[in-house]
Amino acid sequence: MADTIKLASIGLGRWARVLARSVQRSDTIELVNCFSRAEDKRQAFVQEFDLPRSAATLEELLADDEVEGVIVTTPNDTHLPVIKQCVEAGMPVYTEKPISTTVDDGVKIAAAVKDSGQVFAVGHSARRLSGSRVMKEWIDSGRIGGVSMAEANFSNERGLELTPDTWRWYNDKAPGGPFTQLGVHHADNLQYLMGPVRSVRANTRKVFTEAEVPDAVMAILEFESGALGYLGCGWASPGIYTIILQGTKANLRYDLDFTMWDESHEADDYSSLVSQEMGQVSRTPLDLPRTDMFREQLEEFGRATRGEAEIEVGADEALRALAVVHAGIRSAQRDGAAVTLQEIIDEADATAGV
Amino acid sequence: MADTIKLASIGLGRWARVLARSVQRSDTIELVNCFSRAEDKRQAFVQEFDLPRSAATLEELLADDEVEGVIVTTPNDTHLPVIKQCVEAGMPVYTEKPISTTVDDGVKIAAAVKDSGQVFAVGHSARRLSGSRVMKEWIDSGRIGGVSMAEANFSNERGLELTPDTWRWYNDKAPGGPFTQLGVHHADNLQYLMGPVRSVRANTRKVFTEAEVPDAVMAILEFESGALGYLGCGWASPGIYTIILQGTKANLRYDLDFTMWDESHEADDYSSLVSQEMGQVSRTPLDLPRTDMFREQLEEFGRATRGEAEIEVGADEALRALAVVHAGIRSAQRDGAAVTLQEIIDEADATAGV
């Protein structure tokens, strides 16, 4: 594959391997280099994915002339220095959601990306699931009518398993607990479907977890359109991933189980999208054409590095998803009173001096 | 049926007829009298339900020595004077939810009932649906584990059909729109399942309705237990009635369609309750033994008039359901900041001088 787009992985943990498997499913992109500070991780990654080489330092990787873009999966609170170094070295960057832990870091990343002029993509992959795409079609075509209410829930049992030796235990590393870790997915999904969020009202509670972070989070989003959204995320129950849209012509209910989340080319087979038309109580299952969210977003990134594609989720979209979470965390501190996204973003802009 | 408990209907609109049909399904209770100010309604009701007589005035009905209790289905904002007159005349009263339009009226009704010592029941029937009962069993037995999050939605298309000649158009008659009309059901269901609500954060929006009232309502409830609840109610979509519980051992999802709501002996057949155990992605449909919510609550009321049963939902429970709604309406006016039920109830107590 002479013309395959050449990418490299930075940060070689579990998620790097999930993404590397999705690259293996592609005819468009391939991995040619990788970097982690841990030599044993580099060797294992090279071996598992049959890579031609690895780099002992980030500088060495960024000096590799064959690499057209990097996939950054280092911990969220290291995104800023790593991404800044990459784009300032002239390297396009794909990174995982959330764009960063704090909005301040996110604003600085956005500024660094803008200054560098480099291609930058954030892995808010969930909007690429077939269910999200079909819901969006129903909205854009008017088939669902006007949507006044949108509800989303993303929950799992993580909070019951946390121990003090994991970073997710702590508020400064995982602010809001499931709000940052799970809710940020739906913060993007809901803005993808419903347009920008204006303000957030929220409550966050520690109910059963021993950790510092909450395990029950509920937020009400007000969209700029005037419609309302609900975002629920818990860390104390079996897994849930749902999106429900209430339209003037129909309701849509999307339900996904996690069996195949990591193997994204099969995730749609473990999902259902059901419609209920106005005047009907019956529910109609809809076809969900197979997608492959991880492969597709990395192919889009790869093609964008050559100017052959537009990035769907860049710094702006990722920042707005993160700002929903932080507006919610602040609202919870204010006893539920509404916090606007503008307040959160303006404040971070001021801090960053941008 | 010599020993049948004798009841009478007051207010002979659509809902009186739904309840009268449920009485016809009972061997325990029967209707022997009725009252409406409209003579044609009285005659039609007597004929449809084969009643021995009707009363031309409320006083005449209350003087009927055979009548052991009355079923009041007059408009919500007339509950206070009608119920007061009945209990002060020594007559037990069953009335429909909500107990009243305002919390002030509700507090006055509760005080009048208490002073009179009469049996008093409010028709929060939805908690008697088989799905609610089975969920409650899972909670009480510990089978679901600890519940950190509970979500409920009750919505329909009413707001799209409202015209200025209907009382539901107006904020003073139907405050909060679907919040009072639909949400109050789940305010009771959720407190039945999760215990008392401490505070409410809410947002109410007019999105598509032409009426004064909102058509999109979302509220976050904080229970005294520390768990969180979500209550969504809309008036601009096809019908939805769901309750979802997230437990540390399992999730439960209850879904009812409205095909047979009015014929409550068949409503359970149009419902589904599905469990998802911890560690499983598969969903297991649960058996829903048939109940008959309207008949059962009226039989309970009838037996209670003879001291043979306890009232499950009296003035206190009904007031707490209504107070959730009014705390939510006030929270929305305060930009989402939490409003406690105590604030709402204390204020109404002070106004009522009780």
What is the average pLDDT value for chain B, to the nearest integer? Answer: 96
SS3 for A9? strand
User: Which of A203, A276, A334 comes nearest B238 by C-beta?
Assistant: A276
Does A148 contact B281 at a Cβ distance shorter than 8 Å? no
C-beta atoms surrounding B104 within 10 Å: 17
**What tokens does A177 get?**
């607990």
A233-257: average pLDDT: 97
pLDDT reported for residue A1: 53
What confidence tens digit (pLDDT) does each residue in A75-94 have? 999 999 999 999 999 999 99
A217-241: average pLDDT: 97
Q: Which residue has the tokens 């204006």?
A: A198
Positive or negative, the Cα torsion across A93, A96, A98, A104? negative
B175-186: average pLDDT: 95
Strands (E), A87-214: 93-96, 120-123, 147-155, 197-205
* Confidence band of A15 (pLDDT split at 50, 70, 90): very high
pLDDT reported for residue B280: 83
The answer, yes or no, to whether residue B76 has pLDDT greater than 60, is yes
B35-60: average pLDDT: 97
pLDDT reported for residue B1: 53
Nearest-angstrom CA–CA distance, B114 and B105: 14
Q: Which of B276, B148, B125, B126 is nearest to A216 (CA)?
A: B148
Does B205 contact A218 at a Cβ distance shorter than 8 Å? no
**What tokens does B69 get?**
């209790």
Does A236 contact B250 at a Cβ distance shorter than 8 Å? no
Mention every residue, 6+ apart, whose C-beta is less than 8 A from residue B158: B168, B178, B181, B235
Mention every residue, 6+ apart, whose C-beta is less than 8 A from residue A202: A179, A217, A218, A219, A220, A327, A328, A329, A331, A332, A336, B201, B220
Smallest CA–CA distance, residue B290 to chain A, in Å, is 20
The answer, yes or no, to whether residue A163 has pLDDT greater than 80, is yes
SS3 for B200? strand
Contacts of A157 in chain B (CB under 8 A): 248, 278
What is the average pLDDT value for chain A, to the nearest integer? Answer: 96
Nearest-angstrom CA–CA distance, A317 and A322: 9
The answer, yes or no, to whether residue B56 has pLDDT greater than 70, is yes
Cα(first)–Cα(last) distance of chain B, in Å?
A: 43
Cis before A98 (ω within 30): yes
* Confidence band of B295 (pLDDT split at 50, 70, 90): very high
pLDDT reported for residue A2: 62
The answer, yes or no, to whether residue B105 has pLDDT greater than 90, is yes
Nearest-angstrom CA–CA distance, B322 and B339: 14
Chain A's closest residue to B226, CA to CA, is A207
Smallest CA–CA distance, residue B345 to chain A, in Å, is 20
Does A220 contact B227 at a Cβ distance shorter than 8 Å? no
Q: Which of B197, B198, B213, B246 to mutate to test the interface with A (most CBs of A within 10 A)?
A: B246
SS3 for B187? helix
The answer, yes or no, to whether residue B322 has pLDDT greater than 60, is yes
User: Which of B153, B226, B281 comes nearest A257 by C-beta?
Assistant: B281
Phi-psi region of A129 (alpha: psi -120 to 50; beta: other; left: phi over 0): beta
Q: Which residue has the tokens 């993303």?
A: A154
Does A228 contact B205 at a Cβ distance shorter than 8 Å? yes
Mention every residue, 6+ apart, whose C-beta is less than 8 A from residue B91: B62, B67, B69, B70, B118
| Better-scored residue on pLDDT, B15 or A259 | B15
Smallest CA–CA distance, residue A272 to chain B, in Å, is 13
pLDDT reported for residue A259: 76
Region of poorest pLDDT, from A144-158, B40-54, B205-219, B273-287: B273-287
Q: Which of B138, B149, B223, B335 to mutate to test the interface with A (most CBs of A within 10 A)?
A: B149
Q: What 8-state DSSP symbol labels residue B227?
A: -
Q: Which of A157, A225, A237 to mutate to test the interface with B (most CBs of B within 10 A)?
A: A237
* Confidence band of B2 (pLDDT split at 50, 70, 90): low
Longest dimension (CA), chain B: 64
Q: Which residue has the tokens 């801090």?
A: A351
Does B227 contact A238 at a Cβ distance shorter than 8 Å? no
Give the 3-state secondary structure percentages of chain B, helix then strand then coil, rounded to 5.
Answer: 40, 25, 35
B219-231: average pLDDT: 98
Mention every residue, 6+ apart, whose C-beta is less than 8 A from residue A79: A72, A95, A99, A100, A101, A105, A109
pLDDT reported for residue B282: 85
Q: Which of A16, A176, A152 is nearest to A103 (CA)?
A: A176
What confidence tens digit (pLDDT) does each residue in B113-141 have? 999 999 999 999 999 999 999 999 999 99
- Could you give the ipTM of this predicted complex? 0.95
Contacts of B331 in chain A (CB under 8 A): 336
B206-221: average pLDDT: 97
Q: Which of A153, A186, A201 to mutate to test the interface with B (most CBs of B within 10 A)?
A: A201
Does B218 contact A248 at a Cβ distance shorter than 8 Å? no
Contacts of B217 in chain A (CB under 8 A): 228
Residue B65's alpha-carbon distances to A284, A337, B55, in angstroms, are 55, 55, 13
Phi–psi pair at B274, nearest 5 degrees: -130, 135
Does A205 contact B216 at a Cβ distance shorter than 8 Å? no
pLDDT reported for residue A280: 83
Nearest-angstrom CA–CA distance, A299 and A304: 8
Nearest-angstrom CA–CA distance, B135 and B128: 11
Contacts of B150 in chain A (CB under 8 A): none
Contacts of A148 in chain B (CB under 8 A): 205, 207-208, 215-216, 234, 236-237
The answer, yes or no, to whether residue A148 has pLDDT greater than 90, is yes
User: Which of B149, B236, B334 comes nearest A248 by C-beta?
Assistant: B236
Please name the helix (run of DSSP H) or strand (run of DSSP E) that holds residue A71, with its range, or none.
Answer: strand A69-72
Strands (E), chain B: 5-10, 29-35, 69-72, 93-96, 120-123, 147-155, 197-205, 216-223, 228-234, 240-247, 250-256, 271-277, 284-285, 339-340
What confidence tens digit (pLDDT) does each residue in A302-340 have? 999 999 999 999 999 999 999 999 999 999 999 999 999
The answer, yes or no, to whether residue A51 has pLDDT greater than 70, is yes
Chain A's closest residue to B157, CA to CA, is A248
Residue B342's alpha-carbon distances to B179, B200, B210, B258, B326, in angstroms, are 19, 11, 33, 34, 11
A127-144: average pLDDT: 97
Query: Are A291 and A128 spatial neighbours (Cβ–Cβ below 8 Å)?
Result: yes
Longest dimension (CA), chain A: 64
Contacts of B211 in chain A (CB under 8 A): none
Q: How many CB pairs under 8 A join A and B?
A: 179
What confidence tens digit (pLDDT) does each residue in A256-265 have? 987 778 888 8
Mention every residue, 6+ apart, whose C-beta is less than 8 A from residue A12: A34, A35, A36, A38, A41, A42, A44, A45, A73
Contacts of A269 in chain B (CB under 8 A): none
Contacts of B236 in chain A (CB under 8 A): 146, 148-149, 246, 248
Chain B's closest residue to A220, CA to CA, is B218
Number of H helices, E strands in chain A: 12, 14
Bridge partners of B271, per DSSP, are B256
Nearest-angstrom CA–CA distance, B163 and A176: 44
Residue B92's alpha-carbon distances to B72, B73, B112, in angstroms, are 10, 14, 12
Query: Are B84 and B112 spatial neighbours (Cβ–Cβ below 8 Å)?
Result: yes
What confidence tens digit (pLDDT) does each residue in A269-303 have? 889 999 999 988 889 999 999 999 999 999 999 99
B330-340: average pLDDT: 97
Does A207 contact B222 at a Cβ distance shorter than 8 Å? no
Mention every residue, 6+ apart, whose C-beta is less than 8 A from residue A331: A200, A201, A202, A219, A337, A338, A339, B336
A146-165: average pLDDT: 96
Nearest-angstrom CA–CA distance, A293 and A25: 12
Contacts of A207 in chain B (CB under 8 A): 146, 148, 226-228
User: Which of B148, B228, B232 comes nearest A149 by C-beta?
Assistant: B232
Does B148 contact A234 at a Cβ distance shorter than 8 Å? yes
C-alpha radius of gyration, chain B, whole number: 20
User: Which of A205, A247, A251 comes nearest B228 by C-beta?
Assistant: A205
A233-254: average pLDDT: 97
**What tokens does A70 get?**
């990097």
Contacts of A248 in chain B (CB under 8 A): 157, 160, 208, 236-237
**What tokens does A245 get?**
């849209």
The answer, yes or no, to whether residue B177 has pLDDT greater than 60, is yes
Contacts of A194 in chain B (CB under 8 A): none
What confidence tens digit (pLDDT) does each residue in A101-123 have? 999 999 999 999 999 999 999 99
pTM: 0.96
Which strands, in side-by-side order, build the sheet including A240-247? A284-285, A271-277, A250-256, A240-247, A147-155, A228-234, A216-223, A197-205, A339-340
Does A281 contact B257 at a Cβ distance shorter than 8 Å? yes
Query: DSSP letters along B74-129, please?
Result: S-GGGHHHHHHHHHHTT--EEEESSS-SSHHHHHHHHHHHHHHT--EEEE-GGGGS
